[in-house]
Copies of this chain bind each other. A is one copy, B any other.
Amino acid sequence: MSKEIPYKIYLEENEMPKQWYNVRADMKNKPAPLLNPGTGQPMTAEELEGVFCKELVAQELNNTDAYIDIPEEIRSFYKMYRPSPLVRAYCLEKALGTPAHIYYKFEGNNTSGSHKLNSAIAQAYYAKKQGLKGVTTETGAGQWGTALSMACAYFGLDCEVYMVKVSYEQKPFRREVMRTYGASVTPSPSMKTSVGRKINEEFPGTTGSLGCAISEAVEAAVSKEGYRYVLGSVLSQVLLHQSIIGLETKAALDKYGIKADMIIGCAGGGSNLGGLISPFAGEILRGEANYDILAVEPASCPSLTRGKYLYDFCDTGRVCPLAKMYTLGSSYIPAPNHAGGLRYHGMSSIVSQLYDDKIIRATSVTQTDVFKAAEQFARTEGILPAPESSHAIKVAIDEALKCKESGEAKNIVFGLTGTGYFDMVAYQKYNDGEMENYIPTDEELAESIAKCPKI
Chain A interface (Cβ within 8 Å of chain B)?
A: 6-8, 10, 12-13, 76-77, 79-81, 87, 90-91, 109-111, 113, 150, 153-154, 172-173, 176-177, 179-182, 374-375, 378-384, 419, 421-422, 424, 427-428, 431
Distance in angstroms between the alpha carbons of A296 and B100 in the assembled complex:
48
The 6 nearest A-B residue pairs measured at CB:
A173-B424, A153-B379, A7-B79, A176-B424, A6-B13, A111-B384
Q: How far is the CB of A289 from chain B (nearest CB, A)?
A: 29
Q: How far is the CB of A221 from chain B (nearest CB, A)?
A: 23
Q: How far is the CB of A36 from chain B (nearest CB, A)?
A: 38
Q: Which residues of B contact A172 (CB under 8 A)?
A: 424, 428
Q: A7-B13, A7-B79, A80-B7 are in contact. Are A382 and B111 (CB under 8 A)?
A: yes
Q: How far is the CB of A316 from chain B (nearest CB, A)?
A: 29
Complex A-B: 13 CB contacts under 8 Å = A77-B382, A80-B91, A81-B382, A91-B154, A109-B109, A111-B382, A111-B383, A154-B379, A172-B424, A173-B424, A176-B428, A181-B378, A421-B422
A382 lies within 8 A of B180 (CB) = no
Distance in angstroms between the alpha carbons of A384 and B179 in the assembled complex:
12
Q: A13-B7, A13-B8, A111-B383 are in contact. Are A424 and B378 (CB under 8 A)?
A: no
Q: Which residues of B contact A378 (CB under 8 A)?
A: 111, 150, 153, 180-181
Distance in angstroms between the alpha carbons of A154 and B176 in the assembled complex:
33
Distance in angstroms between the alpha carbons of A127 and B407 in the assembled complex:
35
Q: Which residues of B contact A424 (CB under 8 A)?
A: 172-173, 176-177
Q: Which residues of B contact A431 (CB under 8 A)?
A: 176, 179-180
> In the complex, what residue of chain B is closest to A121 when comparing beta carbons?
B382
Distance in angstroms between the alpha carbons of A76 and B8 in the assembled complex:
12
Q: Which of B77, B80, B173, B379 contacts A181 (CB 8 A)?
A: B379
Distance in angstroms between the alpha carbons of A380 and B427 in the assembled complex:
32
Q: Which residues of B contact A87 (CB under 8 A)?
A: 80
B176 lies within 8 A of A382 (CB) = no
Q: Which residues of B contact A90 (CB under 8 A)?
A: 76
Given contacts A154-B379, A179-B431, 19 further A-B contacts (CB under 8 A): A6-B12, A7-B80, A8-B13, A8-B79, A8-B80, A76-B91, A81-B382, A110-B382, A111-B384, A113-B421, A153-B379, A172-B424, A172-B428, A173-B421, A177-B421, A177-B427, A179-B427, A181-B378, A182-B379
Q: Which residues of B contact A380 (CB under 8 A)?
A: 153-154
Q: Which residues of B contact A109 (CB under 8 A)?
A: 109
> In the complex, what residue of chain B is closest to A78 when comparing beta carbons?
B7
Q: A13-B8, A421-B421 are in contact. Are A80 and B381 (CB under 8 A)?
A: yes
Q: Which residues of B contact A91 (CB under 8 A)?
A: 76, 80, 154
B176 lies within 8 A of A80 (CB) = no
